[in-house]
Amino acid sequence: MTADNKKMKISLKIWRQESPQAAGHFEAYELDDVTPEMSFLEMLDHLNEKLVSEGKTPVYFESDCREGICGTCGLVINGIAHGVGPRKATCQLHMRSFQDGETIHVEPWRAKAFPVIQDLGVDRSAFDRIIAAGGYVSVNTGNAPDGNSLPVGKTTAEQAFDAAACIGCGACVAACKNASASLFVSAKISQYALLPQGQPERARRAGAMVAQMEEEAFGSCTNETECSAVCPKGISFENIVRMNREFLRSQFGSTEIE
Amino acid sequence: MMKLDAKIPSGDISEKWTRHKFEMKLVSPANRRKHQIIIVGTGLAGASAAATLGEAGYQVKSIFYHESPRRAHSIAAQGGINAAKNYQNDGDSVFRLFYDTIKGGDFRAREANVHRLAEVSTSIIDQCVAQGVPFAREYGGTLANRSFGGTQVSRTFYARGQTGQQLLLGAYGAMMRQVDAGQVEMLTRREFMDLVVVNGQARGVIVRNLLTGELETHMGSAVVLATGGYSNVYYLSTNAKHSNVSATWRAYKKGALFANPSFMQIHPTCIPVSGDYQSKLTLMSESLRNDGRVWVPKQAGDKRSPTQIPESERDYFLERKYPSFGNLVPRDVASRNAKTVCDEGRGVGNSGEAVYLDFADAIGRLGPQKIAEKYGNLFEIYSNITGEDPYKLPMRIFPAPHYTMGGLWVDYHLMTTIPGLFAIGEANFSDHGANRLGASALMQGLADGYFVLPYTLANYLGNTSLASVSDQADEAKATRRSVAEKIDRILGVKGKTPVTVIHRRLGRVMWNFVGMSRSKEGCQKAIQEIRELREEFWSDCAVPGDANTLNHSIELAGRVADFLEFGELIAKDAETREESCGCHFREEYQTPENEALRNDDAFAHVAAFEYQGEDKEALRHQEALVFENVKPSQRSYK
């Protein structure tokens, strides 16, 4: 446990940008009463309270659940998407991961497909459009057979879950030098490619989702695996390999490529 | 006084819903596309309703303040979803799930609604499996189950510790399929500001576009609120930061009744508060109580490290007091007992406001591998936040506000007292009485959205003549004007105190006086202090910037302003319900063993409040609860 009364001094360089059209810049802030048990976002809350009581405009950043599952938060902290440490969203980063006196750079996700809306907030609606293109099983409410009529092996279910655990935060895009969305798209394609429920639409889904991904302003994957390294849910790079296979399958017919 | 008619169908409880489905009016497929349905919120209830109504052929507008439907707070539900499948052959049935829910709710829920919930529970699992939700499986490929607090059967389906996420992504996928098909239009980053009522019917909404600050009017045949619960009135809760009461509160001020506002569930297994700047409390699924043992030192003030305290000096207080349910007693019982031992000075950790949840026995019995499989991600959450390793040291846990059973009063059709305004999921009050059983929130959200609302909404549309109205209707224009005035009023204060500071103070008042235990005196004190805070808000709140742009401070201020009014209604409800039931524990009403003492003669009813105007006392109505199938008894988990 950390000492209760220990205060840290932190220098912040935060990206401020009034609107999508405006030019952005780094602005410097100093805090001298940060505590190690504060989360990173609580530290920003604290900064914002100070700014508001001084009549200044608070820093806009997005977050909601604050427990690493909703995927709303996402900051590049000292050059790393979601900050230092494996398998965590920004909201799960604590100030005990920083040194007293440290200077911290805070930026939004940087990607053409994720335009900045204000300060540290970006527009990730491209992800919704990719899901709308085919990231589901087409089954209307009320059509379902009994849940146990379709056995799914434990290992398959676990693998599908591992892919399905994606929280759609976009860190994979932010970490990729090409701003590729491959990890996000492949996770959804993999979930359904692995499960029996996903089979009837398997080829159509892969084709449609990849096509939508290419229509958005994401770059291509060049196998650097930066995406998996920053993923809060540890989504494996293997999914991208599977996506490529599924995509080929969708283009040539399922019997030709197995 | 207004007579509340729940419109419960006649007949035997097990046949009501089936028969009523036949009796209700339908809307023919050709006519459905003529109806614009407005759904606010995209959690399990809102997303499942949008998907299902879209599939049926209605034109749906889905309105929400998040950037994407998948961000809604249902995503954070961990433990599981109940269904009366009896796959485990352990004696479960629709009637038993119904019985457990009525009893768990301490006989303050409506029998007919709860039975319907238990009936449709099995279809929910089938639907989610068909969508490709990756539920946990046995080696043979069948669905796995676990048991959950307050029950003696294994009926909970789960997807590791991320069940809410997987169910919501299933509903979100179904909804996005309808977006692709043109049946559902998403209006993202829109905050519900007010309801438009025309000729006594809910016909539209005023929303604020959060990116531009612009006010927009959207009209339709009916409005559905799926806007979740209000635990954030306590400031620190397990809810997401943006969860709020504003949509349901503003509907209340437009004439919808608010039922049982003081019924707020405190979840027993949360990570304790660590500092002043804490922004929320993190819950860990109570499935942990299946294998973890709750204890505190026998001796008050024992500050030794937990591993130094020998077995003989530990008090496993839940196992001691409730031998047949042990650590699996319902949430309210577990929470209150944790508070009691902490009040006795036996709490652990720096603050003394925590109890241990110990996995040493289970790790010894099953091995760390098996424990990691079951609870791996929860252990990760815990060590991430506290910096401690729960495989080596017992967890420290404490109760926190988590779920609100209270909500807009709805009849059997999930319709509020404003015709055409429906409330589904946590936003309504209907199914959980005074205490919700674990893994039942997901069940109710999806039951309402997939299987109940699509029928009852059609019945309303089929029975109602709807005049055509435009967004230029006088009522729409007037409502829009009043919304703009309210925003101007907030920006006009130009004070010094950030709204988050006022919110935090409100939270402390609520937690101290209308939290885990309440008294008449405490409720009155709460009302007094809330009024003072409200005054401070309107004379000194600091909200920078202007209205015609992305200005997050306006959103926060509007929500806090509503909490400051709503908190008073909670205290009033808690004060006037002079009994203890479920989550609602009045110190004056307890058994000699300190258990909740109900008063069925005077309080076997739903309290539903009617707005009477600014600064006027709300009018308290009652809907009597009739128990024909489960005889009210004192709950016993001993």
pLDDT digit string, tens, across residues B426-456? 999 989 999 999 899 999 999 999 999 999 9
**Amino acid code (one letter) for B372:** A
Flag whether residue A135 sits within 8 Å of chain B, measured between CB atoms.
yes
A26 strand-pairing partners: A15
Q: What is the pLDDT of residue B330?
A: 82
Question: In terms of pLDDT, which residue wins out, B27 or B147?
Answer: B27
Residues of B whose CB is below 8 A from A66: 240-241, 279-280, 282
Q: Which of A16, A82, A141 to mutate to test the interface with B (most CBs of B within 10 A)?
A: A141
Q: What is the mean pLDDT of chain A?
A: 95
Question: Annotated catalytic residue: which of B71, B203, B293, B331?
Answer: B331
Do A224 and A131 have their domain in common? yes
* Subunit contact A195:B87, Cβ cutoff 8 A: no
* Average confidence (pLDDT) over A216-226: 97
Q: Return the CATH number at A22.
A: 3.10.20.30
Flag whether residue A40 sits within 8 Å of chain B, measured between CB atoms.
no
For residue B532, being part of any structural domain is answered with yes
Is B449 in a helix, a strand, or coil? helix
The H or E element spanning position A104 is strand A103-107
Residues of B whose CB is below 8 A from A160: 132, 134
Residues of B whose CB is below 8 A from A64: 66, 71, 73, 240-242
Flag whether residue A217 sits within 8 Å of chain B, measured between CB atoms.
no
Phi, psi values for residue B148, rounded to 5°? -140, 160
Do B158 and B252 have their domain in common? yes
Q: What is the pLDDT of residue A2?
A: 41
B294 strand-pairing partners: B357
Contact B555, B487 (CB under 8 A): no
- C-alpha A177/C-alpha A106 separation (Å) is 18
Chain center to CA of B98: 19
Residues of B whose CB is below 8 A from A63: 241
Residues of A whose CB is below 8 A from B545: 57
Find all residues with CB under 8 Å of B291, minimum gap 6, and list them: B359, B362, B366, B371, B374, B375
Flag whether residue B454 sits within 8 Å of chain A, measured between CB atoms.
yes
Q: Return the CATH number at A238.
A: 1.10.1060.10
Is B539 in a helix, a strand, or coil? helix
Edge to edge, what strands does the sheet with B215-219 contain?
A: B190-198, B201-209, B215-219
- C-alpha A231/C-alpha A87 separation (Å) is 6
Q: Which DSSP symbol is given to B450?
A: I
Token pair belonging to B159: 């997807």
* Average confidence (pLDDT) over A98-118: 98
Do B59 and B169 have their domain in common? yes
Q: How far is the CA of A226 from the CAs of A70, B42, B205, in angstroms?
A: 22, 32, 44
Q: What is the pLDDT of residue B251?
A: 98
pLDDT digit string, tens, across residues B47-88? 999 999 999 999 999 999 999 999 999 999 988 999 999 999
Q: What is the pLDDT of residue B1?
A: 60
For residue B6, being part of any structural domain is answered with no
User: Does residue B173 surpass a pLDDT of 60?
Assistant: yes
* Average confidence (pLDDT) over A6-19: 96
Domain count of chain B?
A: 3
In chain A, % of residues over pLDDT 70: 96
* Subunit contact B380:A67, Cβ cutoff 8 A: no
Find all residues with CB under 8 Å of B567, minimum gap 6, and list them: B233, B506, B509, B510, B514, B526, B530
Q: Which residue of A has its CA nearest to B86?
A: A148
* Subunit contact A69:B162, Cβ cutoff 8 A: yes
Q: Which residue stretches of A65-201 are H helix? A: 125-132, 154-164, 171-175, 182-194
Q: Between A and B, how many residue pairs show a Cβ–Cβ distance under 8 A?
A: 220
Q: Which residue of B has its CA nearest to A160?
A: B134
Q: Return the CATH number at B309.
A: 3.90.700.10
Do A82 and A181 have their domain in common? no
Q: How far is the CA of B453 from the CAs of B45, B94, B411, B413, B422, in angstroms?
A: 10, 20, 12, 7, 8
Buried b (16+ CB within 10 A) or exposed e, B422-434: bbbbbbbbbbbbb
Do B105 and B251 have their domain in common? yes
Token pair belonging to B406: 């209270």
Phi, psi values for residue B312, rounded to 5°? -70, -15
Residues of A whose CB is below 8 A from B386: 1
Q: What is the pLDDT of residue B150?
A: 63
* Subunit contact A147:B125, Cβ cutoff 8 A: yes
Residue B518 appears among annotated catalytic residues: no
For residue B4, being part of any structural domain is answered with no
Residues of B whose CB is below 8 A from A52: 498, 542-544, 553
For residue A2, being part of any structural domain is answered with no
In chain B, % of residues over pLDDT 90: 88
Do B68 and B123 have their domain in common? yes
Do B345 and B297 have their domain in common? yes
For residue B558, being part of any structural domain is answered with yes
Flag whether residue A212 sits within 8 Å of chain B, measured between CB atoms.
no
Do B258 and B285 have their domain in common? no
* Average confidence (pLDDT) over B394-417: 97
Edge to edge, what strands does the sheet with B619-624 contain?
A: B407-408, B258-259, B605-610, B619-624
Residues of B whose CB is below 8 A from A185: none
Phi, psi values for residue A60, rounded to 5°? -85, 120
For residue A3, being part of any structural domain is answered with no
If one counts every other C-beta atom within 10 angstroms of the C-beta of residue A221, the result is 21
Is B600 in a helix, a strand, or coil? helix
Contact B149, B331 (CB under 8 A): yes
- A109/chain B closest Cα distance in angstroms: 15
Do B237 and B293 have their domain in common? no
Find all residues with CB under 8 Å of B481, minimum gap 6, and list them: none
- C-alpha B637/C-alpha A187 separation (Å) is 44
Q: Which residue of A has its CA nearest to B83?
A: A147
For residue A218, being part of any structural domain is answered with yes
Residue A60 is nearest to which of B165, B180, B552, comparing CB atoms? B552
Residue A132 is nearest to which of B180, B280, B450, comparing CB atoms? B180
Q: What is the pLDDT of residue B378?
A: 87
Q: What is the pLDDT of residue A255?
A: 57
For residue B602, being part of any structural domain is answered with no
For residue B148, being part of any structural domain is answered with yes
* Average confidence (pLDDT) over B573-587: 96
* Confidence label for A172 from pLDDT (cuts 50, 70 and 90): very high
- C-alpha B255/C-alpha B2 separation (Å) is 12
Flag whether residue B549 sits within 8 Å of chain A, measured between CB atoms.
yes
* Subunit contact A94:B553, Cβ cutoff 8 A: no
Do B259 and B374 have their domain in common? no
Do A137 and A238 have their domain in common? yes
* Confidence label for A254 from pLDDT (cuts 50, 70 and 90): low
Do B144 and B290 have their domain in common? no
Flag whether residue A124 sits within 8 Å of chain B, measured between CB atoms.
yes
* Subunit contact A157:B51, Cβ cutoff 8 A: no
Buried b (16+ CB within 10 A) or exposed e, A79-88: ebbbbeeebb
- B433/chain A closest Cα distance in angstroms: 26
Do A97 and A192 have their domain in common? no
Do B291 and B375 have their domain in common? yes
Flag whether residue B187 sits within 8 Å of chain A, measured between CB atoms.
no
Q: What is the pLDDT of residue B380?
A: 86
Q: What is the pLDDT of residue A39?
A: 95
- B169/chain A closest Cα distance in angstroms: 9
pLDDT digit string, tens, across residues B81-122? 999 999 999 999 999 999 999 999 999 999 999 999 999 999
* Average confidence (pLDDT) over A238-242: 97
In chain B, % of residues over pLDDT 70: 100
User: Does residue B635 surpass a pLDDT of 90?
Assistant: no
Do A94 and A22 have their domain in common? yes
For residue A257, being part of any structural domain is answered with no
**Amino acid code (one letter) for B263:** F
Q: Is the CA virtual torsion B522, B525, B531, B533 positive or negative? A: negative
Do A89 and A108 have their domain in common? yes
Q: Return the CATH number at B137.
A: 3.50.50.60
* Average confidence (pLDDT) over B323-339: 89
- C-alpha B365/C-alpha B356 separation (Å) is 19
Find all residues with CB under 8 Å of A247, minimum gap 6, and list them: A206, A207, A210
Do B257 and B339 have their domain in common? no
pLDDT digit string, tens, across residues B223-256? 999 999 999 999 999 999 999 999 999 999 999 9
Do A86 and A110 have their domain in common? yes
pLDDT digit string, tens, across residues B179-205? 999 999 999 999 999 999 999 999 999
* Subunit contact A49:B496, Cβ cutoff 8 A: no
Do A107 and A162 have their domain in common? no
| Containing structural domain, residue A234 | 125-141+150-252
Do A92 and A134 have their domain in common? no
User: Does residue B214 surpass a pLDDT of 70?
Assistant: yes
Do A135 and A247 have their domain in common? yes
Q: Which residue of B has its CA nearest to A3?
A: B350
For residue A43, being part of any structural domain is answered with yes
Of B312, B313, B399, B311, whose CA–CA distance to B355 is shortest? B399
pLDDT digit string, tens, across residues B519-577? 999 999 999 999 999 999 999 999 999 999 999 999 999 999 999 999 999 999 999 99
* Subunit contact B550:A60, Cβ cutoff 8 A: yes
* Confidence label for A5 from pLDDT (cuts 50, 70 and 90): low
Domain count of chain A?
A: 2
Is A232 in a helix, a strand, or coil? coil
Identify how many contiguous H helices and E strands chain A contains and give both numbers.
Answer: 8, 7
Q: What is the pLDDT of residue A152?
A: 97
The H or E element spanning position B216 is strand B215-219
φ/ψ region of B220 (left if φ > 0, alpha if ψ in -120 to 50, else beta) reads beta
User: Does residue B170 surpass a pLDDT of 50?
Assistant: yes
Flag whether residue A160 sits within 8 Å of chain B, measured between CB atoms.
yes
Flag whether residue B599 sits within 8 Å of chain A, measured between CB atoms.
no
Q: What is the mean pLDDT of chain B?
A: 95
| Containing structural domain, residue B333 | 267-401
Flag whether residue B139 sits within 8 Å of chain A, measured between CB atoms.
yes
Q: What is the pLDDT of residue B277?
A: 87
* Subunit contact A53:B55, Cβ cutoff 8 A: no
Flag whether residue A123 sits within 8 Å of chain B, measured between CB atoms.
yes
* Subunit contact B132:A160, Cβ cutoff 8 A: yes
User: Does residue B597 surpass a pLDDT of 80?
Assistant: yes
Q: How far is the CA of B101 from the CAs of A247, B111, B407, in angstroms?
A: 47, 9, 18
**Amino acid code (one letter) for B342:** C
For residue B182, being part of any structural domain is answered with yes
Do B420 and B392 have their domain in common? no
pLDDT digit string, tens, across residues B254-273? 999 999 999 999 999 999 98
Q: Which residue of B has its CA nearest to A195?
A: B132
If one counts every other C-beta atom within 10 angstroms of the C-beta of residue B8, the result is 16
Residue A139 is nearest to which of B131, B136, B550, comparing CB atoms? B131
Q: Return the CATH number at B552.
A: 1.20.58.100
Residue A70 is nearest to which of B240, B275, B497, comparing CB atoms? B240
Edge to edge, what strands does the sheet with B421-423 contain?
A: B184-187, B59-63, B36-40, B222-225, B421-423
Flag whether residue A58 sits within 8 Å of chain B, measured between CB atoms.
yes
* Average confidence (pLDDT) over B1-23: 94
Residue B55 is nearest to which of A57, A94, A141, comparing CB atoms? A141
* Average confidence (pLDDT) over B612-629: 96
Of B196, B397, B386, B369, whose CA–CA distance to B294 is shortest? B397
Flag whether residue A94 sits within 8 Å of chain B, measured between CB atoms.
yes
Flag whether residue A5 sits within 8 Å of chain B, measured between CB atoms.
no
Do A112 and A29 have their domain in common? yes
- B73/chain A closest Cα distance in angstroms: 7
- B127/chain A closest Cα distance in angstroms: 5
For residue B607, being part of any structural domain is answered with no
Do A96 and A137 have their domain in common? no
Comparing B91-95, B310-314, B377-381, B460-464, which segment has the lowest mean pLDDT?
B377-381
User: Does residue A1 surpass a pLDDT of 50?
Assistant: no
